């Protein structure tokens, strides 16, 4: 089964909490705090894998969560860092933010890409020891790992795309010019998925060709099979537009070219300007001396593109087609690489101190993601830690927002289950 688009959820590991611990050893007075820091959470890392050509691995598994960092321990022991989660995808896979539709990364190179970073480990209580605070009875919890819902969309990395109506011989041509062995039969839509083949041009050089399932009129609107795979020719530098010059199925080659080009243009205006070579296949079925090819050749000349007559069945002009294609590719720019559309402020895991204050009857509710992390970093039963919590709330403007919302002395304030009476 060929799968080229899938939605998944990814989350980096949370950081481990710092430890609250005190050194207690016989004959060692004034041991002091020795709580170690928590470990860092594992990252979500994407890697392009040349052995993959489909997103089938994501058909059933939709959730990917990296390992959390371990908590710190006494004796200044640091918690173990969480292992990174490596997610392998085919070359040419786009990582897209599901909510905005913006491209995050084009996996078209060998460099690993860190999509979500693991949370930082919390500090142990030994880090809070000062000459005036010699017995810190609190530590910080780790921060949460970044998370995101994304869409993986595969756009094959091929230099050349073979396009055309069903049964014009695209698969036969690919089998002739490469080691690919696509299914070949004399009925429409034999090819149900794109096929890739590496074409050698000698001296360790060559190009990659993709056989795209047959297009028909209306493909850009969803007719036939080809519309599902039009995305795979968006990267192709050159299109080999294959037509049945013999008209064995009663179609006019000129009209075929017009209709397919119209479908490409309706799908993407950029595809309409993509360089083409018209490949007139099944030349072995016509008598070129008596055949009237003037109208066809005049039309191709008007298009301003190359033309070659071949026979995939007999192998006629196949070598010339490969050389012609290779020469044309030398003149063209490299395959298209999609740039990231994510702005720095939009990027994964970017935390904000957005705070919401709302009133429910006589209770004031304060919410904000940063407050969840803050609560995890304080020991509310410890006087010094509680003072720290109140100072952060005041510096962050939470008390000011409460007063603007009408909070007065004696009113109840609730922050994620922790309630207290407000005192100005």
How many domains, the chain?
A: 3
Report the C-alpha gap between 275 and 296 in whole angstroms: 19
Which has more confidence, 305 or 424?
305
* Domain extent at residue 50: 1-154
| Nearest residue to 93 (alpha-carbon basis) of 47, 60, 141, 62 | 47
Where do the H-state alpha helices sit in 268-317?
269-272, 294-303
Q: What are the respective helix, strand and coil percentages of the chain, to the nearest 5? A: 25, 25, 50
Residue 348: pLDDT above 50?
no
Average per-residue pLDDT for the chain? 84
CB atoms within 10 A of CB 156: 26
Same domain, 9 and 38: yes
Burial of 265 (0-12, 13-18, 19+ CB in 10 A): middle
CATH number at residue 150: 2.70.210.12
pLDDT per position as a tens digit, 110-128: 899 999 999 999 889 898 8
- Beta strands per DSSP E along 346-397: 356-360, 363-367
Whole-prediction pTM value?
A: 0.72
Same domain, 375 and 241: no
Same domain, 90 and 207: no
Task: Return the ∠ at Cα 258 (arms to 254 and 262), rounded to 5°.
Answer: 170
- Does an H or E element contain 175, and which? helix 170-177
First to last CA, the chain: 66
Same domain, 24 and 135: yes
Same domain, 146 and 221: no
Same domain, 125 and 233: no
pLDDT band at 225 (very low <50, low <70, confident <90, very high): very low
341 in any annotated domain: no
pLDDT band at 219 (very low <50, low <70, confident <90, very high): very low
């Amino acid at each position: 089964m060929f799968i080229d688009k899938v939605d998944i959820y990814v989350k980096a590991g949370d950081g481990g909490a710092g430890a609250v611990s005190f050194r207690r050893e016989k004959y060692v007075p004034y041991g002091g705090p020795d709580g170690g820091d928590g470990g860092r959470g594992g990252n979500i890392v994407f890697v392009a894998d040349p052995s993959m050509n489909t997103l089938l691995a994501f058909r059933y598994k939709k959730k990917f969560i990296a390992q959390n960092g371990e908590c710190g321990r006494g004796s200044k022991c640091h918690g173990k860092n969480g292992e990174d989660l490596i997610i392998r995808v085919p070359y040419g896979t786009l990582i897209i933010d599901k909510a905005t539709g913006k491209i995050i990364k084009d996996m078209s190179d060998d460099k690993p890409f860190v999509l979500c970073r693991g949370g930082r480990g919390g500090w142990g209580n030994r880090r809070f020891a000062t000459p005036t605070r010699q017995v810190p009875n609190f530590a910080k919890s780790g921060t949460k790992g970044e998370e995101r819902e994304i869409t993986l969309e595969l756009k094959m990395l091929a230099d050349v795309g073979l396009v055309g109506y069903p049964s014009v011989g695209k698969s036969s041509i690919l089998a002739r010019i490469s080691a690919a062995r696509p299914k070949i039969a004399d009925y429409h839509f034999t090819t149900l998925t794109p096929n890739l083949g590496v074409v050698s041009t000698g001296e360790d050089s060559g190009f990659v060709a993709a056989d795209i399932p047959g297009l028909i009129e209306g493909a850009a609107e969803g007719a036939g099979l080809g519309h599902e795979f039009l995305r795979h020719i968006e990267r192709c530098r050159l299109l080999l537009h294959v037509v049945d010059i013999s008209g064995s199925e009663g179609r006019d080659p000129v009209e075929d070219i017009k209709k397919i080009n119209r479908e490409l243009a309706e799908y993407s205006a950029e595809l309409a300007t993509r360089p083409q070579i018209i490949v007139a296949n099944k030349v072995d079925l016509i008598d070129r001396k008596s055949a009237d090819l003037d109208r066809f050749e005049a039309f191709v000349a008007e298009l301003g593109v190359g033309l070659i007559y071949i026979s995939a069945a007999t192998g006629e002009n196949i070598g010339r087609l490969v050389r012609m294609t290779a020469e044309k590719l030398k003149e063209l720019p490299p395959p298209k690489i999609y740039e990231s559309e994510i702005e720095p402020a939009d990027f994964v895991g970017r935390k904000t101190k957005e705070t919401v204050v709302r009133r429910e009857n006589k209770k004031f509710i304060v919410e904000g993601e940063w407050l969840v992390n803050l609560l995890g970093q304080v020991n509310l039963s410890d006087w010094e830690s509680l003072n720290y919590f109140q100072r952060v709330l005041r510096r962050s403007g939470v008390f000011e927002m409460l007063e603007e919302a009408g909070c007065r002395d004696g009113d109840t304030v609730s922050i994620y289950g922790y309630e207290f009476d407000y005192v100005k």
